[in-house]
Amino acid sequence: TQLLEQSPQFLSIQEGENLTVYCNSSSVFSSLQWYRQEPGEGPVLLVTVVTGGEVKKLKRLTFQFGDARKDSSLHITAAQPGDTGLYLCAGARSGGSNYKLTFGKGTLLTVNP
Amino acid sequence: EAGVAQSPRYKIIEKRQSVAFWCNPISGHATLYWYQQILGQGPKLLIQFQNNGVVDDSQLPKDRFSAERLKGVDSTLKIQPAKLEDSAVYLCASSWVAGNTIYFGEGSWLTVV
């Protein structure tokens, strides 16, 4: 079983602060995805990282894939209340049509105004 | 473009009763997924279809859960008989093909009392 450990599990910060959440595994993935899930909604894909060491930016969000493709981090600069939600990382293993995505438990972020 | 549609949104049943959830994926998407998300955890894949064939049902509790996608479009997930630990959000998702971006529905919230 491939486990993805996310930390911290809960994070409550003030608007304007910076934060980093982590996703770690002992397994190598072909790619790693980050999702945000808001209450009462399904997860929405934010980004996919594929290459070891890859860094992707999405406005105030910076995603990094570890060199060994086992871990990833998400950094948010100047957090806003709209960033509140459950951040999930998911590791992908592909084998033709048997594309398998394994999710971590998520980091629940609350940004207070 | 319409998203993944699920119904019902909410269901409360007593243990040992049965329940069925329906999913209509995004038009043209060949791959359909059912995930179970227990409160405080990330989604766990129950079953994956490619058109009307099952690709992965290794984590589906087959003694009580069943799913079908007869015509390769809509899908139904059934639980019979339900247990207290089945209380969760059941997320349906679809993608163009396995490995492409996965789009989630809003989920069907099940409470077993």
Q: What is the pLDDT of residues A54-86, one digit of tens each?
A: 999 999 999 999 999 999 999 999 999 999 999
HSE-CB of B60 using CA atoms within 13 angstroms: 23
Local confidence band at A2 (pLDDT 50, 70, 90 cut-offs): low
Say if residues B95 and B49 touch (Cβ distance below 8 Å): no
**Is A93 touching B (CB cutoff 8 A)?**
no
Contact B104 A103 (CB under 8 A): no
Residue B97: how many other CB atoms lie within 10 Å: 11
Per-residue confidence in pLDDT tens, chain B, 113 aa: 689 999 999 999 999 999 999 999 999 999 999 999 999 899 999 999 999 899 999 999 999 999 999 888 999 999 999 999 999 999 999 999 888 889 999 999 999 99
Could you tell me which residues are beta bridge partners of residue B110?
B11, B88
Contact B106 A42 (CB under 8 A): yes
Contact B101 A40 (CB under 8 A): no
Q: Which residues on chain B are in Cβ contact (under 8 Å) with A102?
A: 45
Among A40, A94, A97, select the one facing B106 at the smallest CB separation.
A40
User: What digits encode the pLDDT tens for the residues B36-57?
Assistant: 999 989 999 999 999 989 999 9
Q: Which residues on chain A are in Cβ contact (under 8 Å) with B56?
A: 98, 100
Strand ranges (DSSP E) for chain B?
A: 5-7, 10-13, 19-24, 31-37, 44-50, 53-56, 65-68, 75-79, 88-95, 103-104, 108-112
Rg, Å, chain A Cα set: 14
Q: Which residues on chain B are in Cβ contact (under 8 Å) with A105?
A: 40-42
Enumerate residues 27 to 46 of chain A having a beta carbon within 8 A of any beta carbon in chain B: 40-45
Q: In what order do the strands lie in the sheet with A55-58?
A: A5-7, A19-24, A71-76, A61-65, A55-58
Strands A19-24 and A44-49: unpaired
pLDDT at position A3 is 83
Q: Quick one: tokens of A52?
A: 């070891």
pLDDT at position B40 is 86
